[in-house]
Structure 1
Amino acid sequence: MFRFSVVGLGMAVTPHASALADLAHRVEIIQAATRAPDRAAAFTAATGVPADTDVHAALTHPDADAVLLLTPPDTHFALGQVALDAGKHLLVEKPLDRTLASAEALVAHAAERGRTLGVVLQHRFRDAALRLAGIVADGGLGQLTMASVSVPWWRPQSYYDQPGRGTLARDGGGVLLTQAIHVVDLFRALTGPVEVVAAEATTTPTHDMETEDYASALLRLDGGAPGVLMTTTACYPGLPERIEIAGTKGSATLVGDALEVRWLTGETESLAAGDSGGTGADPMAFSSEPHRRLIADFVDAVETGRAPRASGDEALATHRLINEILGLTEVPVA
């Protein structure tokens, strides 16, 4: 059995707990910890897993193979460093940390300790995303000629009224780094490296918050083709994210977890939507199956010595793209 300690028992733990339960034949949670006693008690009552407030003990548990770190972004480097120094592999919730510098330091520290570092970017593991990644990797669309990504999501003001949410001090950013990072990461993984040509970010009148709830950019793909990005949490009631990729052999449209591929030969392929969710007021309204696949991939990576599909280096590339988009513009408050 592969043994995890879980640190952080807030909103993000729900799909992880479900995914780990589905992997009970090969994965075991041996300890959980949070600084909130009520959350520890609730987690134990729901799962039967011992949980307490001794975070350091969970990070360094002698029987743990890895730590699943689900705390806020501003804690990831400090807590992750403790786990890595204790010889644990590390699977950390997105983003790697609130700042790019700390994220880079965490990746470097894992490499120095010879430990596997994975990041929870589960959109890569949806059915349609996996199929589209295979088509693109095999050259099924030919040379890419354009690509676009749109994330028209919704969060009510009550979401941002939670302590620390949407702040630079805790989260490190707004819609790009905290919500749309999943889709931006998938888009970048599908299209390859992109260059930011122009960008705009703002906080709309919909929300009273420190960071941006809207960001858009003109992009240039690695082969020179144009691209477009738009992300927001101010689009009521929240619509499925959309990725469109066109090439010399055909085009593909990914809407949530529904895929349509159309080739110049007249052939088509469709993959029906799964339970993607998470676009509206309840950010946790989605299936835990992609989390299960991500965790299984992480365990496989540790056991075989390869990098996880959602590795620290991959997460860094996405963080750098986000920083480049935000770095080209101020973030005015409307």
Structure 2
Amino acid sequence: MTRKLGIAVIGLGPAALPHSRSLIDLAGRVDVRYVASRSQERLDAYRAQFPFPGTTDIDAVLADEAVEAVIVLTPPASHRDVGTRCLAAGKHVLVEKPLELTVARGEELVAAARRAGKAFGVVLQHRFRPASLRLKAALDGGELGTVEAGLLQVPWWRPQSYYDEPGRGTMARDGGGVLLTQAIHSFDLFRSLVGVSKVVAAQVRTTSLHRMETEDYVGALLETGSGAPATLVTTTAAHPGHPERIEIIGSKGHAALVGGRLQLSFLDGRSEVVEAEGNTGSGANIMDFPHDAHRAVIADFLDAIEAGRDPVVTGEEALTSQRWIDAILAAGRG
């Protein structure tokens, strides 16, 4: 960009950490006009770490014409209302995952963005990891041949103390459990790589390791976009937590994406490795991962505003992943 874009952040929960580090890295492109929270205590704690101006007055943020875009990091139950207010005030919007509690609420937010004609993106940053981009290129370029089978595993861990925080693991605040809240990143990436066309069968459980309203285990048999079989297993009950895993069996080779590390093994004897940038937040420390992919999401959002195009992960893309998550959960609970 030839000038800095005026931007604000609304919501200062844990997700604010990688976003704030990213905004510092992107200081040449953005002017952070405000960070906003309803909680003065949370705002004070945040400003002890980061230099951005703070406020508890959301109306003032939205009334400021110098704010051209807003990153919405509030809990999922508020995304529709906060996002719609931002759009109505003429702001571009980047919202954290999941899009909303329900598909219906998400559809209202996406429709509001289309009516407003503003850039609207969703933070599903696993698509932006270098290994993910290389795997997509290998699939799109036919290097792996025909997709014959797929595997998605998210064997993460969250202690009970995580779910003891107010609203954690509830339908009213989060809209769902492991599949919508934690594994959505990996599921969205998997779907973007090979597609999903059918839920064959599913199991949904809350294990004895957690006291919570929503599920901490989901298993499913799926069909990819081409009709190939795929297996999904996601949980937050796998102590101490292990990197997520995507495997794709192709007619010309095999891909194993473990955390952020990709191993490509071709039938002609060639192999290739893309190393990971760091950990993935699979254990009790939920923020134990580098912010590189978040920075890439925000940079793409800025590029989209500048070019007048959609971000890579649009509201419609996020809705598609959430609809399939709903279908898996419905099959398991049915």
Which TM-score applies when normalising by structure 1? 0.97
- Kept in 2: contact 1:278–1:284 (CA 8 A): yes
Q: Tell me the distance in 2 between the aligned counterparts of 1:186 and 1:123.
A: 6
1:272 corresponding residue in structure 2: 275
How many Å apart are 1:264 and its aligned residue? 1.4
1:147 corresponding residue in structure 2: 150
1:117 corresponding residue in structure 2: 120
1:85 corresponding residue in structure 2: 88
1:316 corresponding residue in structure 2: 319
Please list the CA deviations of residues 163-208 of structure 1 after superposition, one character each: whole Å capped at 9, or x if unmatched. 0010000100000110110111111111123311111101000000
- Amino acid of the residue matched to residue 152 of structure 2? V
How many Å apart are 1:240 and its aligned residue? 0.5
Q: Tell me the distance in 2 between the aligned counterparts of 1:146 and 1:268.
A: 19
How do 1:151-162 residues align onto structure 2 when only pairs under 5 Å count? Answer: 151-162=154-165
2:27 corresponding residue in structure 1: 24
- Amino acid of the residue matched to residue 62 of structure 1? E
State which drifts further: 212-221 or 299-308: 299-308
- Kept in 2: contact 1:188–1:194 (CA 8 A): no
2:292 corresponding residue in structure 1: 289
How many Å apart are 1:280 and its aligned residue? 0.0
Match among 187, 210, 217 for residue 207 of structure 1: 210
How do 1:126-205 residues align onto structure 2 when only pairs under 5 Å count? Answer: 126-205=129-208
Q: Tell me the distance in 1 between the aligned counterparts of 2:118 and 2:203.
A: 38
- Amino acid of the residue matched to residue 232 of structure 1? T
Does the residue aligned with 2:151 lie in a helix, a strand or coil? strand
- Give the unaligned 5+ runs of structure 1: none
Please list the CA deviations of residues 81-135 of structure 1 after superposition, one character each: whole Å capped at 9, or x if unmatched. 0000011010000001111100111111100110111111111111111111111
Residues 1:47 and 2:50 aligned together: yes
State which drifts further: 201-210 or 311-320: 311-320
Q: Which runs of 4+ in 1 moved over 4 A?
A: none
Residues 1:262 and 2:273 aligned together: no
Q: Tell me the distance in 1 between the aligned counterparts of 2:126 and 2:154.
A: 13
1:306 corresponding residue in structure 2: 309
2:235 corresponding residue in structure 1: 232
- Kept in 2: contact 1:59–1:79 (CA 8 A): no
Match among 15, 19, 27 for residue 18 of structure 2: 15
CA 1:123/1:321 → structure 2, altered by over 3 Å: closer, same or farther? same
Does the residue aligned with 1:329 lie in a helix, a strand or coil? helix
Does the residue aligned with 2:45 lie in a helix, a strand or coil? helix
Please list the CA deviations of residues 40-95 of structure 1 after superposition, one character each: whole Å capped at 9, or x if unmatched. 12223322211121123224432111110000000000010000001101000000
Match among 57, 65, 75 for residue 60 of structure 2: 57
- Kept in 1: contact 2:242–2:282 (CA 8 A): yes
Please list the CA deviations of residues 229-251 of structure 1 after superposition, one character each: whole Å capped at 9, or x if unmatched. 01000000000100000111111
- Amino acid of the residue matched to residue 277 of structure 2? G
Does the residue aligned with 1:290 lie in a helix, a strand or coil? helix
Residues 1:108 and 2:95 aligned together: no
- Kept in 2: contact 1:73–1:170 (CA 8 A): yes
Which TM-score applies when normalising by structure 2? 0.97
State which drifts further: 90-99 or 308-317: 308-317
- Give the unaligned 5+ runs of structure 2: none
Please list the CA deviations of residues 280-315 of structure 1 after superposition, one character each: whole Å capped at 9, or x if unmatched. 001111001111111001110111122211211111
Q: Tell me the distance in 2 between the aligned counterparts of 1:283 and 1:61.
A: 34
- Kept in 1: contact 2:196–2:222 (CA 8 A): no
What RMSD in Å do the two structures reach over aligned CA positions?
1.1
How many Å apart are 1:276 and its aligned residue? 3.0
Q: Tell me the distance in 2 between the aligned counterparts of 1:265 and 1:154.
A: 38
Please list the CA deviations of residues 193-232 of structure 1 after superposition, one character each: whole Å capped at 9, or x if unmatched. 3311111101000000000000011001121110010100
- Kept in 1: contact 2:260–2:280 (CA 8 A): no
